[in-house]
Amino acid sequence: MVVLWFSCNFGVVGAEVSTKFTSAACLTRALFLFDVEIAKLSAPEPVGSLQEHYNNLCMEKFQKINPFLLHALQGVDEEIRKGLKGITLNIAGNNHSMPVERVTGEHFWILSKILEKNPYINGLDVRYNLISDVGAYYAARLLQKQHSLIYLNLMFNDIGPKGGELIAKALHRNTTLKYLRMTGNKVENEGGMFFAAMLQINSSLEKLDLGDCDLGMQSVIAFSTALTQNQTIKGINLNRPLLYGEQEESTVHLSHMLKENHCLVELYMSKHDVRNSGLKQLCDALHLNKSLRYLDISCNKITRDGIISLADVLKSNVTLEVIDLSFNRIENVGAKKLSETLASHNRSLKALSVVSNSIEGEGLVALSESMKTNTTLSNIYIWGNKFDEATCMAYSDLIQTGRLKPDNTDVEPYVVDGHAYLAEVSNGLKKYYYWTPTYGDACSLSCNAGFSIVPVGNQL
């Protein structure tokens, strides 16, 4: 047997080469040569059963069988026998209901071979595995060869800048993928630049998630520039870039993009260090933007002064349906300013989250009063603020009268010794963003209200 040695310390069947990869081009070239050598070996013909096909490939390539992957393929085989199409293959590595052997780059190579010409599978979820840049290479090859894949979830897979580059370049010619999740892969500024360049070429991708990818200021600006021209992206997540400085440049450039872009529906700007002046820039853009329906500006540095601008734009904006203000500091003054606008002017907002915003009873009661006159606002999330008895009574009344449905808020009233209190319940705009429950419905409307109110993308 001949072996290809990688600097990342793994061995696979292939050409007898020893090299150290210093660039994506070097990695691509070496893996290409590896594929050429593999092609020279006799490959088994595809069989009807994915499970059998996987077993045969593992035996021929002397690869250890992954029991978790085998079990997932068995489930897909059963769905295919029932005549189902549009199947999502779920091999999430954080599944705690059964023993999991996480998928590596070598396993992903075999998986990609199985899926290349399968017309029944249009979604692939390999979140929380260990495919790394090697698996990213085969994911890129899969995107070039598989013409029915519309959803690919690679979140938290140890993919770096080089792997990000390979996937971004594969999307230059891909015309089928609609939703790509790269969340938590440290593609950094270098990889982010390749994804931004991809958006200038690709005309089919509708949703891109690059949250927690360590993007830099340069790549955020590049995305802003690309999105002024791209007319197909409907949702983009740029949460938690690594920004330095006090000028709020990312917010300025994204605000300019919103003035020019009339197709974007969802924008996630959590942990962007947005302050009051930056929020004013965003609100100035929202006076002109007529497409954005979901705005996430949670975990920033917005205070009550910034809310004046947001309340003002809500008087005239008729497209915004979901606003996530969680983990800011708007306090009573900001809450009352929002409630005045919601009570008297705005009739388009459907969901508002003010979780952990240092709001006390007076501000929380004002928001509850606005719901009595505003019948459009259906979801409100208030946990993490300072409840007094008036607050508990106000939200208890809203729920008991049916104005606020229990599934549409994150609190539940209860009474002890004649006094009303509020308990936390696991509802929210995107509770299952990072994880999904072991039992129950992973697509629960009460836990993912933001996604159900503004549905963009076929998969979560």
Give 241-265 pLDDT, tens digit per residue: 999 877 889 999 999 999 999 999 9
Take residue 408 and report the two structure tokens written for it: 């549409």
Between these two residues, 436 and 142, which has the higher pLDDT value? 142
Contact between 151 and 116 (Cβ < 8 Å): no
Task: Give the pLDDT confidence score for residue 457 in this predicted structure.
Answer: 60
Task: Give the pLDDT confidence score for residue 143 in this predicted structure.
Answer: 96
Contact between 133 and 163 (Cβ < 8 Å): yes
- Across the strands, what pairs with 130? 104
Nearest to 434 by CA among 240, 193, 149, 150: 240
Looking at the chain, the whole-number percentage of residues with pLDDT higher than 70 is: 87
- In single-letter form, the type of residue at position 165 comes to E
Helix (H) or strand (E) segment spanning residue 316 = helix 304-316
Between these two residues, 402 and 455, which has the higher pLDDT value? 402
Task: Give the pLDDT confidence score for residue 18 in this predicted structure.
Answer: 38
Q: What is the pLDDT of residues 41-99, one digit of tens each?
A: 433 344 468 999 999 999 988 889 998 899 999 999 999 999 888 899 999 998 777 77
Query: Dihedral of the CA atoms 271, 276, 282, 284 (nearest 10)?
Result: 180
Lowest average pLDDT, out of 113-117, 227-231, 287-291, 393-397, goes to 113-117
* pLDDT-derived band at 155, boundaries 50, 70, 90: very high
- Beta-carbon neighbour count of residue 249 at 10 Å? 16
Residues 189-215 have a mean pLDDT of 97
389: Cβ contacts below 8 Å, ≥ 6 apart: 361, 419, 420
* pLDDT-derived band at 443, boundaries 50, 70, 90: low
Between these two residues, 58 and 435, which has the higher pLDDT value? 58
* pLDDT-derived band at 455, boundaries 50, 70, 90: confident
Task: Give the pLDDT confidence score for residue 91 in this predicted structure.
Answer: 92
Residue 454 has pLDDT above 80, yes or no: yes
Q: Give Cα separations from 110 to 72, 89, 114, 125, 139 (angstroms).
A: 14, 14, 6, 15, 11
Contact between 93 and 100 (Cβ < 8 Å): yes
Task: Give the pLDDT confidence score for residue 7 in this predicted structure.
Answer: 40
Helix (H) or strand (E) segment spanning residue 3 = strand 3-5
Residues 123-151 have a mean pLDDT of 95
Q: What is the mean pLDDT of the chain?
A: 88
Residues 342-347 have a mean pLDDT of 94
Buried b / exposed e along 310-347 (16+ C-beta atoms within 10 A)? bbbbbeebeebbbbbbbbbbbbbbbbbbbbebbbeebe
175: Cβ contacts below 8 Å, ≥ 6 apart: 203, 204
Helix (H) or strand (E) segment spanning residue 284 = helix 276-286
Contact between 75 and 89 (Cβ < 8 Å): no
Contact between 44 and 56 (Cβ < 8 Å): yes
Q: What is the pLDDT of residues 279-322, one digit of tens each?
A: 999 999 999 999 999 999 999 999 999 999 999 999 999 999 99
* pLDDT-derived band at 459, boundaries 50, 70, 90: very low
Largest Cα–Cα distance of the chain, in whole Å? 79
Judging by beta carbons within 10 Å of its beta carbon (0-12, 13-18, 19+), is residue 452 exposed, middle or buried?
Answer: middle
- Alpha-carbon Rg for the chain in angstroms: 24
**165/118 Cα distance (integer angstroms):** 26
Q: What is the pLDDT of residues 386-411, one digit of tens each?
A: 999 999 999 999 999 999 999 999 99
Judging by beta carbons within 10 Å of its beta carbon (0-12, 13-18, 19+), is residue 116 exposed, middle or buried?
Answer: middle
Task: Give the pLDDT confidence score for residue 9 in this predicted structure.
Answer: 40
39: Cβ contacts below 8 Å, ≥ 6 apart: none
Helix (H) or strand (E) segment spanning residue 237 = strand 235-237
Q: Give Cα separations from 106 to 45, 115, 283, 306 (angstroms).
A: 20, 15, 48, 50
Task: Give the pLDDT confidence score for residue 30 in this predicted structure.
Answer: 57
Query: Dihedral of the CA atoms 133, 137, 142, 145 (nearest 10)?
Result: 170
Residue 383 has pLDDT above 70, yes or no: yes
Residues 336-365 have a mean pLDDT of 97
Output the pTM of the full model: 0.87
Looking at the chain, the whole-number percentage of residues with pLDDT higher than 90 is: 74
Task: Give the pLDDT confidence score for residue 19 in this predicted structure.
Answer: 39
Task: Give the pLDDT confidence score for residue 33 in this predicted structure.
Answer: 54
**282/185 Cα distance (integer angstroms):** 28
* pLDDT-derived band at 436, boundaries 50, 70, 90: confident
Q: Would you give the DSSP letter of residue 402?
A: T
Contact between 382 and 409 (Cβ < 8 Å): yes
Residue 183 has pLDDT above 70, yes or no: yes
Task: Give the pLDDT confidence score for residue 39 in this predicted structure.
Answer: 46
**106/130 Cα distance (integer angstroms):** 10
Residue 448 has pLDDT above 90, yes or no: no
Lowest average pLDDT, out of 29-38, 218-227, 284-293, goes to 29-38
Nearest to 196 by CA among 150, 259, 250, 128: 250
